[in-house]
Amino acid sequence: MDIRGAFAETLRRDLLIALRRRGDIANPLVFFVIVIALFPLGIGPTPEDLARIAPGVLWVVALLASLLSTDMVFRADHDDGSLEQLLRSPDPLYLLAIAKIAVHWLVTGLPLTLLSPLMGGMLYLPAAAAPALLLSLLLGTLTLSLVGGIGAALTVGLRKGGILLSLLILPFYIPVLVFGTAAVDAAALGADYLPHLAILGAFALVALTLAPLAVGAALRISLDH
């Protein structure tokens, strides 16, 4: 099997497994919806107040929802022993890592992104900010999945690695959160949000280049102990 075939087969296999475990897919989305729905109840239904905090709330909750499922990127493969076989595969490990991280983004980051305009409407986010929200989350959640994959690889051998995973990767999530929120804020105020999107795009490009290599090294370290 050539490299492209190995990538496509890994992507297809993991996507089918993820779709069979619908609860794992639904949990981040349900968390996203419930937490955002609680803000109007806790703060009050005043449109001006909700619109002011909407960019930050949407981004923070999306980040936490993505983090909620990050631990599962390699966990199932580790538990059934297929992760060791993956490391022994003649195919490039970084390519297979990209496929697994891509599945995490497809079942978590992309649905969160597509759902975000509806949730933004609940917080009275201006309609003019919807494109910035979609584009920023599209780029941002991709970066979150890539960076989260490194943490998941480092903690995959630990029984309760969820808390350690959060501590490891949250500092790297903060720049994405800052510029993602700034992009939506700028769009809501009618300002130019493209510079913020350009920075998010740069983050995604750097993560796409470096994260698969780091994931491969982290998996070898984790399984050697």
Find the mean pLDDT for residues 105-130: 93
Contacts 24+ apart (CB under 8 A), 76-79: 76/17, 78/156, 78/157
Confidence (pLDDT) at 58: 95
Confirm if 119 and 137 have CB atoms less than 8 A apart. no
pLDDT of the residue at 41: 86
* Alpha carbon separation from 25 to 15, 67, 73, 106, 126 (Å, rounded): 11, 13, 12, 10, 29
Residue 1 pLDDT > 60 = no
pLDDT tier at 134, thresholds 50, 70, 90: very high
Q: Compute the average pLDDT of residues 118-139.
A: 94
Q: Do residues 83 and 14 lie in contact, with contact meaning Cβ atoms separated by under 8 Å?
A: no
Confirm if 78 and 91 have CB atoms less than 8 A apart: no
Q: Measured between alpha carbons, how far is 45 from 124 in angstroms, rounded to an integer? A: 10
Of residues 89 and 138, more confidently modeled? 138
- The per-residue pLDDT for range 29-59, each reduced to its tens digit, is 999 999 999 988 888 778 888 999 999 999 9
Q: pLDDT digits over 165-199, tens only?
A: 888 889 999 999 999 999 999 999 999 999 999 99
Q: Is the dihedral of CA 223, 149, 119, 58 positive or negative?
A: positive
Q: How far is CA 102 from the centre of its chain?
A: 10
Torsion of CA 34, 137, 19, 100, to 10 degrees: -130
pLDDT value of position 99: 85
Give residue 208's pLDDT.
Answer: 92
Is it the case that residue 130 has pLDDT exceeding 70?
Answer: yes
The stretches of 44-193 forming alpha helices (DSSP H) are 47-70, 75-80, 82-88, 93-104, 110-122, 130-155, 162-188
Report residue 30 CA to chain centroid gap.
15
Q: What is the pLDDT of residue 224?
A: 67
pLDDT for the residue numbered 2:
60
User: Which residues in 90-114 are b (16+ Cβ under 10 Å) and which e?
Assistant: ebebebbbbbbbbbbbbbbbebbbe
16-25 confidence digits (pLDDT tens): 877 787 777 7
